Each structure stands twice: as structure tokens, then as C-alpha cells.
A and B are shown apart, each in its own frame.
Chain A
Amino acid sequence: MFQLTDIPRILPEILLLVLALLVLGSDIFERWGSSDAARLERVRASAQLTTIGLGLIFVIALVQSGYVYKLPDDASANFFTNILRNLQAGGPGQQPIVGAFATDDLTMIARLTFIGAAFLTSLLCLDYHPNSNPAEFYAMILFSTMGMCLMAGATELVLIFLAVELTSIPLYILAGYFHGETRSSEAGMKYFIFGAMSSALMLYGMSLAYGFTANALAGNSAANDLTQLGKIAELAGQGGPVLTLAMVLIIAGVGYKVAVVPFHGWSPDVYQGAPTPVTAFVSTASKAAGFILLFRLLTVAFPSLAGSAVFGENLGGWTSLLAFLALLTLIVGNLAALPQMNAKRLLAYSSIAHAGFLLLGLIAWASPEQFDRDQGAVALVYYLVVYTLTNIGGFGALAAVSLAVGGDDVKDLNGLARRNLPLAVLFAICLLSLAGVPPLAGFFAKFYIFMVGWQSGAWWLVIIALFTTVVSLYYYLRMLKAMFMEAPATDEPLSAPAGIMSAISISVAGLVILGIFPNIILGIISRVQSIAGL
């Protein structure tokens, strides 16, 4: 049963919903003039409200998780400690709410990642004005963030479906938000069609999983727990081809969302056509949410079907399937990025390639040792956090360039170092981190996830991943060469808006700090291990 004491546990989601409604509602009281000045004022109001609100929600979620400061049990009771105690009552370490929504450490860390990504995205949007109805633009970001938070904690099929749709539908709208432009509307349409088909595939798999539990229980179920992930795992011993088919369909459906080859067809088009801040959001938060959902689904519902990624052993499980997908993703993503002329499209293929690296963290479940599996979870979450920071910085820099130059091809970056040195240096740090150059965080994330993959027996995949990392250096260096070596089209300085610069600076600071001192957050992230035994 749902109890009132469960409300603090979903406080960040409730606050996101309230903020979204507040942004929509407050827009009514703005001045709706048709002049540019009046429209700018309206845009600013929504943007500032969203940014400040997201910052506050991030702080509240951080305090609630207790990672920075945990109130000791014997603290004296006064006004502030009472608030803190009630807030931290929703912290990690309890049973899932009505068996459907787990608020464990994985959910807490994922929430902070998504809310942080949304905060940085809204900073990027401060000067990237949507043409009309700004409030809807920001409300869509907030609704989508709420869906991602629910996705991270969902342990029940109906909630998983609803969370995926709550995440995706606002993202379709955001990708096609500049509906007067051919590229944006085309991106929105493509995203929508692929997304709707992948949802249908996933749903068919879920209906088969439901049929499987209903059949296995044969009329003996007492509670409405047929669609809970734990129930599927409990009954998986009687599983047959139906359960395997359900699992494959669900993997295919989520695989579309995280853009692994061969389900990646939409992503270069959508990343290129969507407004750049939206691309930053889709390529980071939405992909991270998909991976965390995939992790929870596969490890909680199908632990007995893990199989192996080692040649000659049991190749029937999901780690074997994921190893095959990772192989395709690494090769196709990195090779297709090589000839790209458009910088956004290039980063889109690079983010497909990163999905291949991320899959290694899931493939760690091929190892029978619990230790290796735990390490896989930690490596996956660390990589997701680093990847989110890096890509928001990278796409943010592209947003600044395309705002000033009016295009986002690689040749538009020519001579950026001479026109705006700070922007060029920050962008270069993001690219080097994506390529995995030490001492940046991207290097440590790659190193960790390769190590985990090697230990779990997928050494052949790690070797291919190493080779493709070398290949990927080429296209990252091509962008660096354009920025630092080529002559600019014009010598006049390129001004980058303050909002974008601060977002990029935050993410680059994160990259450098996490690269030099990874232990700062590894200690927190290593707590996600506790969910493995759920």
C-alpha cells in the first residue's frame, strides 16, 4: 500500500512536476507583446525560473540523498534538524514503494545526474531562444526529467512503460520545437516514428512477460504483483522460449532509446536537426536513463538468463546478445564518424560509439563472480556521469558557435582559437575527455570500464574497443585541428553568451576534478552495488 510517509521518497519528482506547472502558469502573467523586446522578456522569465528551480531541486535531492551531510541520529531537535530529518527520511535504503519504485542509491545518483543535466541544459537555453511559447519549451524539459527520474527507479513493467513515454514524448516535441524549420521538424518526425515503434516492440515484450508470470502462477497470485521485475526473476526458473523472446524484445525497445547499432538509425538525423541544447539533453540524460533502465531490468528481472560473453561457454544469455550489439556499435559508430562534415552529426556518431563502451559495464554480468558484477555497475554509473558532463560541454560549445556563425559544420569551427580562446580551450578539453586522454575524467572512465570488461571474460571485446578508441582519436583531432590550426573566415572576436559559457565551465571543471580525483564520487557511486542483490 502507498503510505503518506512515502511522499518524501518521491519528493524530487513531485518538485519537478510542480516546477513545470509553475513555469507554464507563470507565463500567463507575462506581457504577451509581439515586439522582440516583449518576447525576449517572456523567454527570460521562463528560462530564469526553470534554471533557478532546477538548481534548488538539485540541492534538495543532494541533501536528501545524504551524500554530502548525513544528519546523525542523536542530533538535537530544532527547527532545521527537523526539516533535515524529514527530508532525509526519503533517503536511500528502503523497500520499493508499492513494489514499483525503488529509491535506492542507484535512483539517487541517477536523479542527481538527470537533474544536473537538465540544469546545465536550461543554462544552455538561456540565450538560445525558442521562437514562440518559451514556457512550453522549459516545461517539456522538466516533464522529461521527471520521466527519467521515474525510469531510473522503476521496478515494475507498467511504471517502466509510463516513465519511458513520459521521457520520450516531451523529447519528440523538443526535437521538433522549431516547427517552422525544415531540419527541426524533420528531426522531430524521425525521432517520433522510431521512438513509437520501439515503444511498441518493448510493450509486446512486456505483454509476453506478463503472460509468462500469469501462466507460471496459474491463478495462485494473491497480490497485484504480476508485472514486478522481482516476480519475473522468481519464476524465471520455469522460463522457456517465451521469456527469452520477451527479454529480446525489451532489449530491442530500450536499445532504440540508447541508440545502439542496429537500432541507431534515428540518432544522427535527430542530433543534427534538433536545436543544439536539446541535442545535448537527448544525447546525455536520455541515454543515461536508458542505460540505467536497461541495467535494472536485466539484472533484477533476468539475472538467471545472463549467460556468458566468453567463447565456447553458454552463449544463450543477454550478455552474449549485448556483447554482439557492443561489437557492432563500436565498429559502426567509430567508422561512420570518420567522414562526417557536420560537427553535430560527428558528435552523434561519437555518442553511438560511447554506447558501445557503456555496454561493457552491463556485460560484466557475464562473470559468475559477484565482485565483477558489482564493479561493472560502478564502472557503468561512473562512465554515465562523466559522459553526461562531457557531452553537455561539447554540444554547449557547438551551440555557442552555431549561434554566432549560423552553422554547425566542422569548417565553421575554423580558427575558433583566434576568435574566442576560452571557448576553444574548453571545447578542446571536452573533446579530449571524449577521446579518453589522461588526466581527464574520460580516460579514467574508459580505463575502469575496460578493466571490468576484461575481468568478466569479454577480453576480445576490450581489444576491439581499444582499437576503435585509437580510431576515434582521428575525428576528435580533426575538430581540434580546425579550431587551432586552420585560418578563421574572419578575425573578429566571437562572443559566447554567459549562460552557455557558465554551463561549459561547470562541466569542464567537473571533468578535470573527476579525472584527477576520481575517488570523490567513486565512494558514493560504489554504493550502487547494494542493488545487485535486490
Chain B
Amino acid sequence: MTRAIPLEAVLVVAAALFCIGLFGALSRRNLVGVLMGVELMLNSVNINLVAFWRYLEPQNITGPAFTIFIITVAAAEAAVGLAMIIAIYRNWDTVNADSVDSLKG
């Protein structure tokens, strides 16, 4: 089966997206920005799974099924995360990760 775009190209895009997400999650000060970084990481996984399915095992539904589960759980996770950010904002009047530091030692 030949295609215009090779599998490797799709995987490189996913890996790049994962790295951008990881960098964003680690470097952003804003908690909402951190959350967006995590979402990018999860979406790169989705691209990986769908690409593997389409190029290697198109008759077997495991890849897209896994993707649907990830999308659903990511939505639940984002809901919890945003609720946490609201609680942080109410307590600290900021969503800057550096200012939230009452616990240390």
C-alpha cells in the first residue's frame, strides 16, 4: 500500500507535538498554559495511534477505540483541572504556578 505521505512523517509530527506539549507544560508559568501543554501531549498520542492503525493494521479497530477512550478521559481530566484552577484563583487571586508555594521544605 503506497501513500503520498509516509508513516514516518506522521510520527515525526506527533513526536514534535509531544515535545512542544512537554516543553509547554514544564515551562509555562500560567496554570491554564500548563493544562494546554498536557492536552497537546495527549493529542500527539492520538495522532500516533490513528497513524499506526491506518498504515499498519487498518482492518483492526483497536487504535481508534483507544483514541476515543483517550479523548473522553482527557475531557474529564480537563474538567477537573479547570475546577482546580478556579479553586486556586479563589484562594490565591492568581493562576501563576510560581506564586502557589505554601507547601515546601
Contacts and interface: CB of A to CB of B under 8 A. Distances in A.
B20 interface: no
Given A161-B70, A186-B91, A214-B53, 16 more contacts: A161-B73, A165-B73, A165-B76, A190-B103, A200-B38, A203-B42, A204-B45, A204-B48, A208-B48, A210-B49, A211-B11, A211-B56, A214-B56, A214-B63, A219-B57, A268-B105
A183 B100 contact: no
Most buried by B among A157, A204, A345: A204
B38 A211 contact: no
Nearest to B52: A211
A221 B84 contact: no
A335 to B, nearest CB: 14
B45 A203 contact: yes
A187 interface: yes
B56 A189 contact: no
B83 to A, nearest CB: 8
Given A188-B87, A189-B84, A203-B42, A215 B48 contact: no
Contacts of A272: 103, 105
A203 B43 CA distance: 10
Interface residues of B, number: 47
Contacts of B45: 200, 203-204, 206-207
Main secondary structure of the interface of A (DSSP, over half): helix
Contacts of B69: 158, 161-162
17 contacts: A165-B73, A165-B76, A165-B77, A186-B102, A189-B87, A193-B34, A193-B97, A196-B38, A197-B41, A200-B21, A200-B22, A200-B42, A203-B42, A204-B18, A214-B63, A224-B60, A345-B105
Contacts of A162: 69, 73
B7 to A, nearest CB: 9
Contacts of A230: none
B103 A273 contact: yes
A57 B67 CA distance: 34
A180 B91 contact: yes
A268 B104 CA distance: 8
Interface stretch (A9-17, A71-79, A110-118, A168-176): A168-176
Most buried by B among A207, A210, A269, A342: A207
B13 interface: no
A192 interface: yes
Main secondary structure of the interface of B (DSSP, over half): helix
Nearest to A200: B41
Interface string A200-226: 110110111011001101110100101
A183 B73 CA distance: 27
Contacts of B41: 197, 200-201, 203-204
B44 A189 contact: no
B2 interface: no
Given A197-B25, A214-B52, A186 B105 contact: no
A219 B52 CA distance: 11
Contacts of A85: none
A169 B84 CA distance: 12
B80 A226 contact: no
A269 B104 contact: yes
